[in-house]
Structure 1
Amino acid sequence: MISYSITEINNLLKGEIIGDTNQKIEGPEELQKANSNQITFIGSNKYAKYWQDSKASTALVNYNLNIEPGENRAFIKVKNVDLAMAEILELFKLSTPVFDIDIHPTAVIHETAKIGNGCKIGPNCYVGKDVELGNDVILYPNVCVFDETIIGNNTIVWSGTIIRERCIIGSHCIFHTNVSIGADGFGYRPSADGRGLVKIPQIGNVIIGDYVEIGANSCVDRAKFSSTIIGDGCKIDNLVQIAHNSVMGRSCIMAGHSGLAGSVTLGDGVVIGGSASIKDHTTIHSGATVGAGSGVMSDVEAGKTVLGYPAQDARDMLKQWVAVKRFVKANS
């Protein structure tokens, strides 16, 4: 089992050790669940009160917290506990599933497909006509990549994911289980006789930049024409819907159950909270934040935080909620 001394861990983090312990650290854990051989973290005073009863020997602590570790226990004080914990998790990261054979004999690969050096393709995968895989791409079992799709170097695609035809995927991306890339956008119009619906053909594609991560069971639909675009560095949670012709800038975040309707535009660094929904043809400018559960019906200015349904300036919405609460209390 891997273990580290507190000094070895701090050599990585470049923090400040307060107190002392000779306990070897064998992994990280939550404050109230940790054992003596585990390191935990305290990010704010809200959690500091739990330290006394914790069995952990070591904790990462934000530098501005004024608490003491106690006997045979130690703190590593850092500027940002969340980022420091990310480095700790890297230390103890478990190995990924092993490929006994780089390209499994049950994989179906079209003769025109171009497979880069070091690629690994698991059982029952399908790689279609004129597909191009860059170097060191990993397709876990039961992945389908359809015709003329291009996938960049070092991208990882987990089981059950389907990437439809003509999509362009960047390098160093991660698609988790059962992601759908390039399914038809949701486009229908009433028929001329008014007795049914006419399907609008979706002839575009999806373009995804580098270092994009998409969570399990999320969907990015192909464009009606042109492209649905996900910019470099975007991080998309599980169960997220991105509709046809939407465009996301660089390093946007979308939390679980959120969704973009058709032709939504996000600037760079936009944050969409869980279960938030964005109306079609809406623009959310760079640096804006949409609170969880909100419904955005109109454009959002750069750097602004909106909240509620329909979404409006977060401060105004909070004032309304306080006023309603007082009114209910006064009349109850």
Structure 2
Amino acid sequence: MKTYNIEEINDILKGELIGNTSRKITGPEQLQNAQSAHISFIGSSKYIPLWHSSKACSAVISANIKLEPDPNRALIKVKNADLAMAKILELFTPPTPEFNIDIHPTAVIHNTAIIGNNCKIGANCYVGKDVELGTGVILYPNVCVFDETTIGDHTVIWSGTVIRERTEIGSHCIFHTNVSIGADGFGYRPSDNGQGLTKIPQIGKVIIGHQVEIGANSCVDRAKFSATIIGDGCKIDNLVQIAHNSTMGRSCIMAGHSGLAGSVTLGDGVVIGGSASIKDHTTIHSGATVGAGSGVMNNVSAGQTVLGYPAQDARDMLKQWVTIRRLAKNTK
């Protein structure tokens, strides 16, 4: 078990140590669940009452929080408690599953595939024709990588993920369990005879940049032509849909259950809230934010925040909500 004293943790965080504790710290925990060997976090003043009832021996607090330590309980004041929490969580992160052998004998690897140095390929994986894996790529058990796909250095792909043919993936990416990359885009038109639907072939591919993380059960569909593109540094939550020919700029965030319809364009640093949906052929410019549950029907300007269904400028939508509440009260 890893343990640290409060001074060692403060050396890592480079914060201001207030008070002290003699207890060894064995891990982080929420204030209400913490025991005497835990360190916790206070990023907002609304959590201050929980500190007084908590058993935690220490807490990391944001610089704007006014709080005094108790006997044998210490505080570390930092600029941003959430970022400090990330550093502490790294300290106590348990090891990932180990491979007893670098390439499991049940893995099926085509003889034309190029496997980089220090790759690890788990049981029942499939690596297809002309696939190229860079240095240090990890495929956990039951991953399928189909023909002509390239995967950059030190990318980690968890079990159940399927990467279809001709996909291009950068370095230092993480794909969590059951991700689907490169499935056919959703394209149909009424048949000439009016008695069914004609499938539109999807002959493009998916291009994913460096340091992209994609959550469990999310889907990135191949393009009808050209490519569906995920830019460097994008972070995609669980259960997210990215449709054919969509393009995401650098460092975009998409929260769970959100989705892009076909040919959506996101600029750099766009944030899409949970369960938000974006209409096809829509552009959301750099730095914009789409609130949770919103439905975007029109283009969104750079830096704008939109809310609602259909989505509007957040200030206008909030005014409408206030007006509706007032009307509701007056009709009682």
Give 1:215's aligned residue: 215
2-side partners of 1:67 and 1:145: how far apart? Answer: 53
1:71 deviates by 1.1
Q: Secondary structure at the match of 1:7?
A: helix
Q: Secondary structure at the match of 2:8?
A: helix
Q: Secondary structure at the match of 2:53?
A: coil
1:69 deviates by 1.4
- Is 1:137 paired with 2:137? yes
1:44 deviates by 0.9
Give 1:198's aligned residue: 198
Give 1:251's aligned residue: 251
2-side partners of 1:300 and 1:205: how far apart? Answer: 27
Q: Secondary structure at the match of 1:17?
A: strand
- Is 1:4 paired with 2:4? yes
Give 2:261's aligned residue: 261
- Is 1:274 paired with 2:256? no
2-side partners of 1:310 and 1:108: how far apart? Answer: 48
Q: What is the aligned residue count?
A: 332
1-side partners of 2:69 and 2:216: how far apart? Answer: 39
Q: Secondary structure at the match of 2:203?
A: coil
Give 1:236's aligned residue: 236
1-side partners of 2:32 and 2:316: how far apart? Answer: 37
Give 2:33's aligned residue: 33
Give 1:77's aligned residue: 77
Q: Secondary structure at the match of 1:207?
A: strand
Q: Secondary structure at the match of 2:51?
A: coil
Alpha-carbon displacement from aligned partner over 1:271-321 (angstroms, at most 9, x marks no partner): 000000000000000000000000000000000000000000001101111
Matches within 5 A, 1:1-332: 1-332=1-332
Between 1:69-78 and 1:248-257, the stretch displaced more is 69-78
Letter of the 2:145 partner, please give it: V
Structure 1 gap segments, 5+ residues each: none
Q: Secondary structure at the match of 1:228?
A: strand
Q: Secondary structure at the match of 1:52?
A: helix
Structure 2 gap segments, 5+ residues each: none
1:67 deviates by 1.1
1:225 deviates by 0.2
Matched-pair identity in %: 77
Letter of the 2:53 partner, please give it: D
Q: TM-score, normalised by structure 2?
A: 1.00
1-side partners of 2:171 and 2:66: how far apart? Answer: 43
1-side partners of 2:99 and 2:45: how far apart? Answer: 46
Letter of the 1:175 partner, please give it: F
Alpha-carbon displacement from aligned partner over 1:40-89 (angstroms, at most 9, x marks no partner): 00001110111110000100001111111111111000000000000000
Letter of the 1:226 partner, please give it: S
Q: Secondary structure at the match of 1:171?
A: coil
Q: Secondary structure at the match of 2:301?
A: coil
2-side partners of 1:223 and 1:65: how far apart? Answer: 49
